Structure 1
Amino acid sequence: MRGADRRETRARRPAAGHPRDGCEVPVKPFRSRNPIAVGAVTALVMALIGSATFFSDDLPLIGGGTTYQAEFREAAGLRPDDEVRVAGVKVGEVTDVRLAGDHVEVLFRVRDTWVGNRTTAAIKIKTLLGQKNLVLDPVGNAELNPDQPIPAERTSSPYDVTAVFNDLASTVGAIDTDQLAEAFRVLSDTLGASAPSDVKTAFNGIAALSQTLASRDDELVKLFQNTNQVSKTLGQRSDQIQTLIRDGNTLLTELNARKDAIAQLFSGIKNLSIQLRGLVAENQKTLGPALDQLDRVATVLQRNQGKLEDSLRLAGPFYRLLGNAVGNGRWIDTYICGLIPTGTTPGSCRPPKNGGR
């Protein structure tokens, strides 16, 4: 009986590969898939991973950063992937160095670094083997626009020792050794023919000059420090100096354009002075007596100045009373004294106290 039940249960179990109601389809075994499709997908995924690894700096989350431009008069050996440093700390790398007309354009990318609108850039020597890096000095009162390059006026290139030694080798190779030896022979003969006292005097003068320079060491150091300070001040005021020179150039240009008008103005002033001189000369006989008479009138007025002041002082009350008398419209304030002599005596005539209308 138990064997029959076991066979019945095995008969009811669904066969492999046939889904039962409510169950997912079994996954197809990896071994039974098409190997060509699996290989193509695997190669594509590996290519994407390799590209992402190679261009990881350009990815938005992993790489990032802001790309700026700088103009240099020469590349000075700077290459892509060289470091970009601020205060000795690496903040990015150079992405491209290309020729743009009469200057070199350097593209560089920085991350998590503020770059001002007056930032200066300089190519510096990083190692004794000649490797370079780009050094930034971020200054300004606003952030630098990435589309606006740092001009060549705010960039500088290094002093390349390798190039100098190459030039030195070329110069030394071009020296005529025969002429140099002849020059040394002439110098030796000249010194030999010179009096020992003259040579001694020359060396004494050089020694005195050296001692003087050594005794003035502090003053020379101070002079160089002040010169450095002046150079820094001029460097900080370079924009204002350029503006001043530009405005001066504009003023000179305007004066040059108006030189004809200025020349005519000066010519007119000269002609006016000639005409005034002639006018004075022609009217000298008329103006002379008139000025003499005016001088005499002024003398009389000055001599009688006291009397004129007394007259003006006495005339003031008179004109004030006259104005009070005639200033009442159609009526005049007045009084009659001595019309009836009865009861009056000479000298007793007095104005009424109420005004006597």
Structure 2
Amino acid sequence: MSIRAPLLKLIAFAAVTVLLTAMLAQTFGSFTGGGTSYRARFTDVTGLLEGDDVRIAGVRVGQVEDIRVADNTVAEVEFTVDGDIPLGTGVRAKVRYRNLVGQRYIALSEGPGDGRPLPPDGLIPLAQTTPALDLTVLFNGFRPLFTALTPEDVNKLAYEIIQVLQGEGPTVTSLLRRTASLTNTLADRDEVIGRVVTNLNGVLSTLADRDESLDTTISQLQSFVSGLSADRAAIGEAVANLGELTGATADLLHDARPAIQSDVAALEQVAGTLNENSAVIDRTLGTLPGRYESLTRAASYGSWFNFFLCDFDGRVTLPGAGAVTPAGVNSPAARCDTSGGAR
């Protein structure tokens, strides 16, 4: 009992998995559930693969089963068609392009005949088959036209060309109308294209005249880049160090910002005071030379200052008597001569 339950679960899981796999294979692999087998011979089936569609009026009715060489000269394709769709002996088979990627399919259509049914495993001869277009030759002929289009327009026009030549798209007149419109557009821009070519010739001529300088510049640039490559380790370290320095500077400015702000405010105040007393400062700076000369003469005896009393006077205010000015003292010594400027 302990083994039977897991075994039943495993069997159920395997059955569901196989069923889902078969459904996916049916969906994505385009498998059919059988049908009547027929054969058709083509001069060229390049790109046609086993499993490709067989269509009638664009509706899928079967698939290609096998591709082989017959009589060492032609390709014989074996395909199946749904059993409820009979084919006549006049049926025609064409290999057509399914898309621009290169996928192909076989298109079946009724042709002239006596209306007799084609027997199972019957052969459609070469006279009633048409190979696929050779896109390489076709697109090479349109290459000058494609160079003037965007990739999206190229894909659209190429697909329309294939549809026209396979009889599935617009008429040849519509295709020619589109081609003529594009050609007229290119003709209208002939002057602009001519100017571009002329300018390009001028640029190329200038480059040709300076070929030696251009070679030297390229060589120097190569040497410069080689030097940078050789010093990439040092440059990387320098960049890292610059990052660290930037971080340290930011931290320093962040810490010193309050002090700097107060210093700037104090400097602003000092500058205002100096500006208000500019006259006093000018007068003081004008008298400084004479005062420095007097101080130098007074200190000429040594590293000290000698003072000599030349004049003395005073004023005393007494209660009830007012201000009393006593007699002053005035020395007649030569050093007290006022013409020298030291008193």
The TM-score with structure 2 as length reference comes to: 0.37
Bigger fraction of residues in strand: 2
